Amino acid sequence: MAAYTADLVDFDEALERYDPVLGFEVHVELNTRTKMFSDAPNAFGDVPNSNVTPVDLGLPGVLPVVNKTAVEYSIMLGLALNCQIAESCRFARKNYFYPDTPKNFQTSQYDEPIAHDGYLDIELADGEVFRVEIERAHMEEDAGKLTHMGGAAGRIQGADFSLVDYNRAGVPLVEIVTKPITGAGKRAPELAKAYVGAIREIVKALGISDARMERGNVRCDANVSLMPKGATKFGTRSETKNVNSLRAVEHAVRHEIQRHAAVLDSGEAIVQETRHWHEDTRTTTSGRPKSDADDYRYFPEPDLLPIVTNEAWIEEIRARLPEPPAERRKRLQADWGYSDAEFRDVVNAGLMDAIEETIAAGATPAVARKWWMGEISRLAKNADVEPTDLGATPATIIELDSLIQGKKINDKIARQVLEHVIAGEGTPGEIVEKRGLAVVNDDSALGEAIDAAMAEMPGVVEKIKGGKLQAVGALIGPVMKATRGQADAARVRELVLEKLGIEG
């Protein structure tokens, strides 16, 4: 395998000598009910070759019909990317022989994309904003999925044969192509991650894609080139394919910058080629050489009429667009009064929606954050599920909080109650009732436990009398034990001091 252990230049050092230029092609699989050109179901994970019609198999005589929902979704995405929507656009045929493409051509937009000339403002963690210019967003169909059998690690090299599943063939895709991104400098890897993350967030918010990168719903090809610091002529680029997580996007861009710098430093030329990303080693290896002379013999798809849009239709679609994710985030953070760090944690934990719902249901922002980011996240991590899939709802949180506020339970018991809620035992109120978990507020019962504890620990009592009030803590443990945790610690403290005649 070529250039597997290419020398790398230290990242910061590379950036002292070179300016990186980035470019991204992000493929988004749309979650329409049916495929781009047929009425076969668009579904993931079904029995291979079950979601196919004669059209998807490219049988003799079949004709494509454009999925109108896919067109509307593409327009939505174009609008969300601040693009112009074409008044009229066509599909073309991209001709090449490969068994994952049943017709041996891919039906794709070529010189007439449905959306063009847009931009997306990308906010980095520290608030710096980069504007990424969008060249185009065009519609196309996905290819089938090849599984290479025999040979090493599922690669085509050395495989004995390949299996093909056409369930994915014809799934609607939008490919978003950026203009060259300059000026990111050291922040290029970070920007790459943030850009792809923003696309993912937008298509999710629009509801037009399941946006699961691990399933290939969002796939990124990252173009990287370097030019000497201060130069304006772009260097030769490499295109790293199918970088399938946000973290991988960041690492791949970083790696390619370091690799390019090493090649350029040694006086050699960068080969224009596709590179394959390897998550395990966090390196890329050479794929096939890619020249601008790749000849796909594009020509307008004669089986389809041009797609003609009009203002009324576009405005009707625009009216359906949700608030852009970045604006929504700004609004929510201001509304909730979270610090930047607190809010970023919430976003990273994927709990913004849950917290919004919880606040809408009546919780204070602080309470919503405390539960979702605290106990619920902890339990979810233990159970290895998403916090929102754990079984706790906004109603759970509101009820727990009101039990605490009403002094029926304390924080510690509330956490126990939550575990029982998750176990499916009922609502917090029902569980407190059923399990007898209410805080012991009966001072006479507490008094007995306190007396017993004080009798057992005369040394502690002496310390408290001597002014060391924090020594009360030593008594709380035994009291809690005696009351099976149902004592209110604050009340225990009060009663101890009262008994000893000390002002708390």
Residues within the interface to other proteins (CB under 8 A): 54, 57-66, 93, 95, 97, 99, 102-105, 162, 164, 293, 295, 297-299, 302-305
Q: Phi, psi (5° rounding) for residue 437? A: -95, 5
The smaller minimum CB distance to other proteins, of residues 38 and 358, is found at: 38
Q: Minimum CB separation from other proteins for residue 106, in Å?
A: 11
Q: Minimum CB separation from other proteins for residue 164, in Å?
A: 8
Q: Minimum CB separation from other proteins for residue 236, in Å?
A: 20
Q: Minimum CB separation from other proteins for residue 308, in Å?
A: 13
Whether 438 contacts 408, CB under 8 Å: yes
- Residue 393 in tokens: 């709802």
- 210 by DSSP, 3-state: which? coil
Pairing relation of β-strands 161-165 and 129-141? unpaired
Whether 326 contacts 123, CB under 8 Å: yes
Whether 104 contacts 98, CB under 8 Å: yes
The smaller minimum CB distance to other proteins, of residues 119 and 296, is found at: 296
Pairing relation of β-strands 92-95 and 105-108? antiparallel
Residue 334's alpha-carbon distances to 339, 340, 349, 448, in angstroms, are 9, 10, 19, 50
Q: Minimum CB separation from other proteins for residue 321, in Å?
A: 28
Distance CA 500, CA 457 (A): 14
- Residue 239 in tokens: 């295109």
Contact partners, residue 141, CB within 8 Å, separation at least 6: 35, 36, 37, 106, 107, 108, 169, 170, 171, 172, 173
The smaller minimum CB distance to other proteins, of residues 94 and 329, is found at: 94
Distance CA 109, CA 55 (A): 19
Distance CA 53, CA 43 (A): 14
- Residue 308 in tokens: 């003609």
Q: Minimum CB separation from other proteins for residue 68, in Å?
A: 11
Distance CA 428, CA 433 (A): 9
SS3 per residue for 302-352: CCCCCEECCHHHHHHHHHCCCCCHHHHHHHHHHHHCCCHHHHHHHHHCCCH
Q: Minimum CB separation from other proteins for residue 162, in Å?
A: 8
The smaller minimum CB distance to other proteins, of residues 103 and 493, is found at: 103
Placement of tokens 């096939």 in the chain: 288
Q: Minimum CB separation from other proteins for residue 53, in Å?
A: 8
The smaller minimum CB distance to other proteins, of residues 104 and 281, is found at: 104
Q: Minimum CB separation from other proteins for residue 40, in Å?
A: 13
The smaller minimum CB distance to other proteins, of residues 3 and 164, is found at: 164
Q: Positive or negative, the Cα torsion across 286, 292, 295, 297?
A: positive
Q: Minimum CB separation from other proteins for residue 103, in Å?
A: 5
The smaller minimum CB distance to other proteins, of residues 56 and 488, is found at: 56
The smaller minimum CB distance to other proteins, of residues 93 and 116, is found at: 93
Q: Minimum CB separation from other proteins for residue 66, in Å?
A: 7
**How many other C-beta atoms lie within 10 A of the C-beta of residue 42?**
24
**Which of 81, 82, 94, 102 is closest to 28 using CA atoms?**
81
Residue 142's alpha-carbon distances to 106, 171, 199, in angstroms, are 8, 5, 18
Distance CA 217, CA 194 (A): 17
What is the dihedral angle through the alpha carbons of 168, 169, 170, 171, rounded to the nearest 10 degrees? Answer: 20
The smaller minimum CB distance to other proteins, of residues 60 and 127, is found at: 60
Q: Minimum CB separation from other proteins for residue 104, in Å?
A: 4
The smaller minimum CB distance to other proteins, of residues 65 and 452, is found at: 65
The smaller minimum CB distance to other proteins, of residues 34 and 258, is found at: 34
Whether 225 contacts 238, CB under 8 Å: yes
The smaller minimum CB distance to other proteins, of residues 95 and 402, is found at: 95
Does an H or E element contain 162, and which? Answer: strand 161-165
